[in-house]
Amino acid sequence: MNSNSKNSASGDLISKKPNGKDAVSSAAPVKPSAASMKPSAAAMKISAAPTIPSVASMKPIGQSGVSGDSSSTKRNGKAVVCSDVPSDNSDRVVFFKDVTFGPQEDELRFRLIHFWEAKHAFSKILMGLEMLLVDAEGTVIQGFIPPSRMDTYLRHMKPGSTYRLTNFFGSKTKKVYRVADPDVTIAFSWKSVLSDLTDTSTWFPEDRFRFHGYEQFEAACDLKGDLYDFIGHIKLVNEQALNESFVLDEVEIASDRRILVHVQTHDGPVMKLYIWDKVATAFCEKFISLGKPPSVIMVTTVNPKRLGGALSLSSLSSSRVFFDTDVHQTREYLAWLESNSEVANRVNAEIVTKAETATIGELLTYMKQEGAKVAWFECTATIDDVVRGSAWYYIACGGCKTKATKGPTTLMCRKCGKTEITGAAEYLSKLSVYDNNDHASFVLLGDAGFELTGKKASVLVESYYEANEGSGDDHVVPVPQVLIDTIGQKRTFVIKISKHNLEGKTQALTVTKVLPLEVPALGYDLAADVVVSPTADEGVKRGADMIVSDDAKRAKSG
């Protein structure tokens, strides 16, 4: 199944292999290339052999060529629709390694591996179409089409097909979230001409993967640098163990736009892999089409970040999902898994990575260290008081948990880009705490409040208004008794040292998670069968720096 078959600007190709079986790939014909297909030994303990080529003919896309210029002829008089043979013998064929910065009239020949829409992280404005291309030498490079030219080229593009491109621009590759090594990006200009390459004498690799293992992802955590691929086996999906009766909750996935997968590579640490938006939809479709739960998963271009103190991986719009027998690399890992099931099952299906422990004094010292970075710690402290007389919650977007903003008549979410949302109350409560030597202010954020009190903020707020019908929407709800009752409790908190802490803007420390109270042993180990619930995930990260709420009012629907 095509993992992106329903995306208007994203896609893969399902090709037929010589043995007649379907295999997910990004192309049909391929020339074996060990250098381009095999991940480095430093990256992972996986020996990826060259992909065996299939020899299927490429279909033309119809029109023989298309230019970014909407007129029938270019300004220099040359036709914008070219034939399969270069119209100008002066055009020389070059490889990606020969591309330099600036405008170029040379001809490139390549296979289109994958393409996806690039949007601004916050405004969601379409920035253009990004592509992953590979030439006959196995060099992979990033391509880019501006939004104004997407309609011109997109309808002629098919992942896995081979093309010729003339009159392009070599632009500087972005520094964040890079998907290829070269510093130059192939950008389509107003005079670019794209056409099918029907010359089957030239062979191209069908795909390219570059893997990282746990240690490499740990080193690259939160750096927003190059994006690498993950491969491993599945432990849990949305906190449920896989078995023959396992069924994905499609309604929940469509609502949350997220899937949480606990994964492990060989016998390494278990990690959380968050799959978002269109990639989550593709995951769901492929998962269901298999008819039974898969064992192996490979996700490309994942972003390593720290959530709730643990290393996690997160998909991006450029990510693709592969399962058991989709490609050579997953088939190879599946063979290892079937031969080493006792090694793979040695670690329980729960997060084994945890935040470093620290006292209050050590946290305050760390904040002042030169070169300190955003980090998570576990800190055990006693709650001395709950700050009253000010708001203890904020109104969040019910979808992403970002702080909602007030429109003329509705609540709006800048993150989701929606002008009408349903607000929900989320914890934003200030605690005074102490340990053996020091005291500090902790800010209880989001789901951490529920973990401390056992009550959701939205339920407490609604209950208050139901009992006090005369109160207006501008009325601030007093701190609930269930929160005051936590005074005197000694708890372990997961603390985020935020950018605001490091810049000296605030001394208050954000609590992203509260660990459960210790329960006396009952003759067997309960913890061995308990999976740690996820934190507020992206919602916590997005709201972690909010210390004071200006609009802590009753949740209401626009």
CATH of the domain at 312: 2.40.50.140
Residue 119 resides in a domain: yes
Is 345 in the same domain as 366? no
Is 188 in the same domain as 101? yes
Label residue 325 by pLDDT band (50, 70, 90): very high
Classify each residue of 353-367 as buried b or exposed e, where b means 16 or more C-beta atoms within 10 Å of its C-beta: eebeebbbebbbebb
pLDDT above 80 for 244: no
Mean pLDDT over 351-356 rounds to 53
Q: Which of 353, 371, 394 marks a domain boundary? A: 353
pLDDT digits 0-9 by tens, 267-320: 888 888 999 989 999 999 999 999 889 999 999 999 998 876 678 999 999 999
pLDDT above 90 for 258: no
DSSP SS3 for 543: helix
Residue 541 resides in a domain: no
> What stretch of H or E contains 314?
strand 310-314
Burial of 438: CB neighbours in 10 Å, binned 0-12, 13-18, 19+: middle
Is 175 in the same domain as 263? no
Is 334 in the same domain as 422? no
pLDDT digits 0-9 by tens, 484-535: 999 999 999 989 888 888 888 888 999 988 998 865 444 333 333 333 333 4
Label residue 354 by pLDDT band (50, 70, 90): low
Distance CA 554, CA 535 (A): 24
Q: Which of 353, 375, 391 marks a domain boundary? A: 353
Residue 544 resides in a domain: no
Is 263 in the same domain as 346? yes
pTM of the model: 0.54
Phi, psi of 496 (to 5 degrees): -100, 125
Q: According to the model, what pLDDT value does residue 4 have?
A: 39
pLDDT above 90 for 162: yes
Strand 13-16, strand 22-25: pairing:
antiparallel
pLDDT above 70 for 9: no
Strand 509-514, strand 439-445: pairing:
parallel
Is 100 in the same domain as 112? yes
Mean pLDDT lowest for which of 6-15, 264-273, 354-363, 440-449? Answer: 6-15
Residue 104 resides in a domain: yes
Is 228 in the same domain as 315? yes
Distance CA 283, CA 277 (A): 10
Range of the domain at 232: 214-353
pLDDT digits 0-9 by tens, 361-397: 999 998 888 777 777 788 999 999 999 888 898 888 8
Is 369 in the same domain as 348? no
pLDDT above 70 for 5: no
Distance CA 64, CA 322 (A): 32
Is 390 in the same domain as 343? no
| Of 485, 467, 487, nearest in space to 475 by CA | 467
- Do 12 and 173 contact (CB within 8 A), yes or no? no
Q: How many CA atoms does the CB half-sphere of 528 hold within 13 Å?
A: 7
Which is higher by pLDDT, 447 or 11?
447
Which is higher by pLDDT, 251 or 140?
140
Residue 78 resides in a domain: no
Is 502 in the same domain as 377? yes
Is 100 in the same domain as 145? yes
Distance CA 254, CA 268 (A): 31
Q: According to the model, what pLDDT value does residue 283 have?
A: 94
